[in-house]
Amino acid sequence: MFASSTNAYDAATPEFKAIILAGPGNDLYPLTERENTPKALLPIANKPMIWYVLQWLEQGGLLDIEIVTVRESEPDISDYIRGVYEGMAKITVRVLADAAGTADALRQVAPQIKTDVIVVPCDLIIDVPAAHFLDMYRLRRPSVASMFFETMRSKGGGGTSKAAVQLPLIGVDQPTSRLVMLRPLDKDEDEVEMRMSLVRKFPSLAMSNKMQDSHVYVFQRWVLDYLAAHPEMSSLQDDLLPMLVRAQSQPQLLEREQITKFMRPRYARHIDENDTSAQFGLPDGTDLGELDNDDPLKVFVYLRRNGIAGRANRIPMYCDLNRVVARVSTDARIDESVDQAQRIQVGSDSLVGAYSKLGERCSVKLSMVGAHCVIGKDVKITNCVIMDHVTIGDGVKLESCVVCKLAKVGDKAQLKDCEIGASVAIPNAVNIKGEMFAASTATSNADGIQVKFS
């Protein structure tokens, strides 16, 4: 958390401010309906997804954390931080003034930030230690550090979210790990045009279209000032990062955007009559003359291949990460408080939460079952995420489904590749594939939120 050099920072000054972006999660609808739970609190292996991000930051020594969210999500997230989450960090929750992109969100909180900043999405699960990533940043001192990961093979889940993630084309200078190309790639594109200035400057260029942006960024403080001066930029991923990547090899863009003007005030603060090396956090032995060389802007990239890495920002990946995290979880497969009938089967790749009830001959494979759920007899659950307080009748078969809290599935219903919203009631004996049942579009009555079938 703190700089290693004793003269780099005052002991009470954090090295980084951590910002967690906890947006509304529109791509996870109907899981993120108001009747269910905010995106940041959706369960992954029976823990809120933001728990993993908070733990990742804390284990990296980042103890000054601010969660930025929308007004509708703030009460639930604040209640979780104050009353449930157990950690060492100082955590604040801030509401965005209005609906905003990621760059807009960072711009709103920037005036209160005095240090370099690490930005993390609330939906990230990754096995790269934060300390390792930050040590690479400390060693190389780029203007921006980013992290990309190789996408995992998906087994899917849910049935209505079919859109694939469009991966960009990236180019990395292998000797320096600099991200020097970043642009969208058309799936039908079979040729790539490259600027000669880029090839001349970075002859050892490796290219890939198999890596996904984790949306983890470390920015030097001056980048926030640049962002504040460019309100037209809405997205960190789509606007700010690609522009900074291009500017590394395009001097005219660097000059037109006046980037070095924003960088110089930062370095001017390092000049001191008695110490011109690391008064405010420069690496020991740094020559100030190096800061005004012909290559002032550097964008570093950390590439994570294989391993566990993903963002739960779409339903198929949300289901994938539930399975992957459950597989490596050290929690009990079946909580000790679960009421278990005879001849049940719970796979080693599954979890059953506290105070749930499992009926006779029920089978749970590749699935998460939340707390306070009631599962009937002769039920088969495969490749599913079942949230808290769900009731599933006798003889039900669920495959590759997501069932939100307080939902009810009637006896002998068979559902495959479906998403069932909060408090939705599925009738008995239906056979459905690839459908979404949202609380906001169903009909309410004394028995709950009912789904109509033609």
DSSP per-residue codes, 314-339: SHHHHHHHHHHHHHH--S-SB-TT-E
Q: What is the mean pLDDT of residues 105-113?
A: 94
pLDDT value of position 271: 38
Identify the domain boundary among 288, 320, 352.
320
Average pLDDT over residues 376-394: 97
Q: What average pLDDT does range 122-142 have in this prediction? A: 95
- What's the whole-number mean pLDDT along residues 279-286? 38
Q: Do 45 and 163 share a domain, yes or no?
A: yes
* Domain identity same for 216 and 68: yes
Residue 44 lies in a domain: yes
User: Which of the pair, 126 or 188, is modelled with greater confidence?
Assistant: 126
Query: Are residues 72 and 123 both part of a single domain?
Result: yes
Is 193 contained in some domain? yes
Q: Same structural domain for residues 258 and 396?
A: no
Domain identity same for 142 and 238: yes
CATH code of residue 294: 3.90.550.10
| Same-domain status, 356 and 276 | no
Task: Find the mean pLDDT for residues 339-347.
Answer: 95
Using CB atoms within 10 Å of the CB of residue 381, give its burial: 0 to 12 exposed, 13 to 18 middle, 19+ buried. Answer: buried
Residue 452 has pLDDT above 70, yes or no: no
DSSP character for 112? G
Residues of the domain holding 122: 16-320
- pLDDT in the model for residue 450: 64
Same domain, yes or no, for 275 and 395?
no
Residues 102 and 138 in one domain: yes
**Roughly how many angstroms between the first and final C-alpha of the chain, as a whole number?**
59
Please give the DSSP secondary-structure letter assigned to residue 117.
Answer: E
Final residue before a domain boundary, out of 320, 344, 377? 320
**Is residue 123 domain-shared with residue 25, that is, in the same domain?**
yes
Residue 10 backbone phi and psi in degrees, to 5? -65, 150
Specify if 11 maps to a domain.
Answer: no
Give the C-alpha separation, 91 to 290, whole Å: 37
- Count of structural domains, the chain: 2
Residues 253 and 120 in one domain: yes
Q: Is residue 3 part of a domain?
A: no
Measured CA to CA, the distance from residue 239 to residue 426 in angstroms comes to 43
Asked whether residue 310 falls in the same domain as residue 349, the answer is no
For the whole prediction, is pTM greater than 0.85? yes
Residue at 8 is within a domain: no
Q: Please check whether residue 171 lies inside any domain of the structure.
A: yes
Which residue in 99, 123, 75, 72 sits closest to 314, CA to CA? 123
Domain boundary among 320, 341, 374: 320
The model's confidence at residue 273, banded by pLDDT at 50, 70 and 90, is very low
* Residues 371 and 354 sit within 8 Å (Cβ to Cβ): yes
Q: Give the three-state DSSP class for 214.
A: strand
Give the pLDDT confidence score for residue 185 in this predicted structure.
81
In a domain, 80, yes or no: yes
Query: Is pLDDT at 2 greater than 50 in this prediction?
Result: no
Q: Is residue 282 part of a domain?
A: yes
Calculate the average pLDDT of the chain: 87
Do 150 and 254 lie in one domain? The reply is yes
Task: Report CA-CA distances (Å) from 100 to 91, 173, 235, 236, 332.
Answer: 22, 33, 9, 12, 40
Question: Percent of the chain scored above 90 by pLDDT?
Answer: 74
With cut-offs at 50, 70 and 90, classify the pLDDT of residue 157. confident
Domain at 378, CATH number: 2.160.10.10
Residue 369: its pLDDT value, please? 98
Most trustworthy range by pLDDT among 15-19, 100-104, 181-185: 15-19
- According to the model, what pLDDT value does residue 199 have? 85
